Each structure stands twice: as structure tokens, then as C-alpha cells.
């Protein structure tokens, strides 16, 4: 009697392996893309919360002093504020600028994520400085996923 020999397959073919590797690569790309988007949204949320905290403290400052700060913002200016709210994600402190009239909105980049732009009403008599304080301000923050920047303006 003749013995039939069966060829037993001991492993996977190269085609099967390539298909599995391609599927794993596609899945990994999808997961990483979604994860990076979620991280950017999280950083944007932190930036908005920081700007809102600064906004609240600036309004409290105005109620107590009758003007907004005419000097660079610091944690010592606002008792009770978390000092980290004044520092952007890169570790840079909030950038401050002062003018007699409302300045043009700055172009925001990742190198200057937070800005405090304080100004007067446009007349020389109401200069915006550390001695006199300021009448108005705009706060800006750079955002990654949404509109290019987040803005809060003074109530006055």
C-alpha cells in the first residue's frame, strides 16, 4: 500500500504575516492620532482655565483698586491665585504690554501662549503704567485645536 505523505504547514506564509503587520500598523496609526488630538484638547482646556482664573483675579483687583494692574502680572499681585495659572505650558510667564489706547490683537504662536495687554482710553491724561494703573485689558492665549487664540476682555 502506498503511503500518502501530507505536507504539514508548520508556520505562516509571508503573505499572511505581511497582512497582519499592515493591519496592526493601521490600527496603531488610528490610536496614536486620536491620542495626540486628545492631549492637545486637554492643553487647550488648561489654557482656557488659566485665562479665566486670571480674568477673575483682574476683576477682583479692579473692584479693590479702581484700576487694572499697570505692571507685569505676578502671583504676588493676586493673593490666592495659583502661580501656575500665570505660566504657560512651555514654562514662560505671561507676557505683559501697556499702551494708552487699545493695541491691535497680537499674532499668537506657541512661544508666547499667554498675554496681558493693558491700556487706557486713548488720551494722554490716562496713561497706563504702574503708578496710575490701567482702565482696560485684553487677555490672550494660544490654542492648538480650536480657533488660533482665546481672548477675554475687561468688563470696563
pLDDT at site 18: 93
Asked if 137 contacts 153 with a C-beta cutoff of 8 angstroms, the reply is yes
Domain membership of residue 4 (yes or no) is no
Domain membership of residue 105 (yes or no) is yes
Domain membership of residue 133 (yes or no) is yes
Q: How many CB atoms lie within 10 A of CB 141?
A: 25
Domain membership of residue 72 (yes or no) is yes
- Enclosing H/E stretch for 14: helix 14-65
Domain of 99, in residue numbers: 15-153
pLDDT at site 38: 83
136 vs 14: CA distance, rounded Å = 69
Domain membership of residue 8 (yes or no) is no
- For every one of its 156 residues, what pLDDT tens digit does the chain have, with 9 covering 90 and above? 555 556 666 788 899 999 999 999 999 888 887 777 788 888 888 889 999 999 999 999 999 989 899 888 888 888 888 888 888 877 888 888 888 888 888 887 777 688 999 988 877 666 788 888 899 999 999 888 777 788 898 888
pLDDT at site 51: 92
Domain membership of residue 6 (yes or no) is no
Grid coordinates of 33: 492620532
pLDDT at site 7: 61
Number of domains making up the chain: 1
Quote the DSSP letter at residue 103.
P
pTM, two decimal places: 0.75
Domain membership of residue 128 (yes or no) is yes
pLDDT at site 6: 61
pLDDT at site 139: 93
Domain membership of residue 10 (yes or no) is no
Amino acid at each position: 500500500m502506498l503511503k500518502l505523505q501530507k505536507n504539514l504547514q508548520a508556520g505562516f506564509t509571508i503573505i499572511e504575516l505581511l497582512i497582519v503587520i499592515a493591519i496592526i500598523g493601521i490600527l496603531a496609526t488610528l490610536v496614536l492620532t486620536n491620542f495626540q488630538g486628545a492631549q492637545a484638547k486637554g492643553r487647550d482646556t488648561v489654557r482656557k482655565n488659566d485665562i479665566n482664573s486670571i480674568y477673575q483675579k483682574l476683576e477682583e483687583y479692579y473692584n479693590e483698586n479702581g484700576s487694572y494692574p499697570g505692571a507685569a502680572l505676578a502671583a504676588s499681585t493676586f493673593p490666592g491665585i495659583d502661580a501656575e495659572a500665570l505660566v504657560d505650558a512651555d514654562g514662560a510667564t505671561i507676557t505683559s504690554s501697556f499702551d494708552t489706547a487699545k493695541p491691535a490683537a497680537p499674532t499668537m504662536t506657541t512661544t508666547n501662549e499667554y498675554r496681558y495687554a493693558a491700556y487706557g482710553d486713548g488720551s494722554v491724561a490716562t496713561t497706563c503704567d504702574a503708578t496710575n494703573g490701567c482702565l482696560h485689558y485684553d487677555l490672550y492665549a494660544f490654542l492648538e485645536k480650536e480657533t488660533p487664540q482665546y481672548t477675554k476682555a475687561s468688563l470696563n
